[in-house]
């Protein structure tokens, strides 16, 4: 635990030292966020520097040299794959600011990139964990899926990265929910330590410590009114890290519960689109994802962040109780 706290503090310090330079650099390069026309109440945020995800990605990359050892392949895969998602997000963000629109990569290009990374991660994971072990939420039992862990890992990676990406639409929302998610995941890893090799478990906790430290610093600059946005650079990175750490600690299915607010963001979009097409123009929500529906209802951004974090804490407590 002492080492985890040291990594937490070191990560916060590095992020705090880097953040002003990253924000100033993004401003000078004119890498400002283009606001979607139909989110007109966010118009005042247009031009706010984006790609701020580097504030918490760089500390992880730097500290990974101290975290990883030769006996922790899953820790290496988690960091490399999540950083790869971050690079994919950076390409998307770069195209947006270069073209001065909010299109970025085409949908199929994004899916190909996300899917390609997910396939590689799933294959490497299967090589390390050929029995395909996974824990069943609430029952505190494990199930060996064997080969079928491959498609499940692929689905978890693609779905989670997109869900976290969709959650990033309000100042402090994706960062706030994610820091709560990782903190609770760290506690849950302690509950399932009998399933995870000691060295791997220690590395996962250090990665969580680094992530929480850097995210806490990022939230100083991203809380309403935000001075910087994480962009797809940050949200895809976080999605990749949520998916890999949960999956590698045999708790991939726990994302459905502990990541309830990520799931809500994705489901609200799927339901809205499906209902809109089925009814030829009618809507379930005033706007999707759900946090925009709440904004349309008059909720302030800070209140939405508080609600999402509170629910994540509550479902996290439920997850912990189920493991006792």
Does residue 64 lie within any of the structural domains?
Answer: yes
Tens digits of per-residue pLDDT, 44-92?
777 899 999 999 999 999 999 999 987 889 999 999 999 999 999 999 9
Q: What is the pLDDT of residue 83?
A: 97
Tokens describing residue 57: 């990605």
A 10 A CB-CB count for 216 gives: 18
Three-state DSSP at 132 gives coil
Rounded to the nearest angstrom, the gap between the alpha carbon of residue 117 and the centroid of all alpha carbons in its chain is 15
In this prediction, residues 191-195 reach a mean pLDDT of 86
Distance CA 267, CA 41 (A): 23
Its domain, for residue 103, covers: 2-255
Please report whether residue 321 resides in a domain.
no
Q: What are phi and psi of 45, to 5 degrees?
A: -85, -5
Average pLDDT estimate for 251-278: 96
- Distance (Å, rounded) from C-alpha 242 to C-alpha 162? 11
Q: Is residue 149 part of a domain?
A: yes
- The mean pLDDT of 120-125, rounded to a whole number, is 95
**Any domain includes 215:** yes
Residue 202 located in a structural domain? yes
- Please state the pTM of the whole predicted model: 0.95
Please count the structural domains in the chain: 1
Q: What is the pLDDT of residue 41?
A: 57
303 occurs within a structural domain: no
Q: Per-residue confidence at 164, pLDDT binned at 50, 70, 90?
A: very high
> Helix 2-28 crosses helix 198-222 at what angle (to 10 degrees)?
40
Which residues on neighbouring strands pair with residue 142, listed in sequence order? 135
310 falls within a domain: no
In a domain, 172, yes or no: yes
């Amino acid at each position: 635990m002492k080492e985890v706290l040291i990594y937490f503090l070191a990560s916060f310090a590095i992020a705090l030292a880097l953040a002003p330079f990253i924000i100033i650099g993004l401003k000078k390069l004119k890498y400002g966020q283009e606001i979607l026309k139909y989110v007109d109440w966010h118009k005042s945020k247009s031009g706010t520097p984006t790609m701020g995800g580097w504030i918490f990605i760089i500390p992880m990359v730097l500290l990974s040299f101290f975290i990883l050892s030769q006996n922790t392949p899953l820790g290496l895969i988690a960091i490399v794959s999540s950083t790869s998602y971050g690079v994919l997000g950076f390409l998307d963000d770069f195209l947006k600011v270069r073209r001065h629109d909010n299109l970025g990569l085409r949908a199929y290009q994004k899916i190909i990139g996300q899917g390609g990374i997910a396939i590689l991660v799933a294959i490497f994971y299967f090589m390390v964990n050929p029995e395909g072990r996974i824990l069943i939420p609430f029952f505190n039992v494990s199930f060996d899926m064997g080969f079928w862990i491959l498609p499940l890992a692929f689905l978890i990676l693609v779905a989670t990265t997109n869900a976290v990406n969709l959650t990033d639409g309000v100042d402090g929302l994706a960062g706030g929910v994610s820091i709560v998610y990782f903190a609770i995941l760290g506690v849950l890893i302690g509950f399932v330590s009998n399933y995870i090799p000691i060295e791997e478990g220690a590395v996962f906790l250090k990665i969580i410590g680094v992530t929480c430290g850097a995210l806490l610093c990022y939230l100083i600059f991203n809380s309403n009114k935000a001075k910087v946005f994480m962009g797809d650079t940050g949200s895809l990175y976080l999605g990749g890290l949520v998916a890999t750490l949960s999956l590698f600690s045999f708790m991939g299915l726990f994302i459905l519960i502990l990541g309830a607010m990520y799931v809500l963001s994705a489901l609200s979009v799927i339901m809205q689109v499906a209902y809109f097409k089925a009814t030829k123009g009618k809507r379930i929500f005033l706007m999707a994802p759900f946090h925009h529906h709440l904004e349309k209802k008059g909720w302030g951004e800070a209140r939405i962040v508080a609600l999402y974090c509170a629910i994540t804490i509550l479902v996290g407590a439920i997850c912990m109780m189920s493991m006792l």
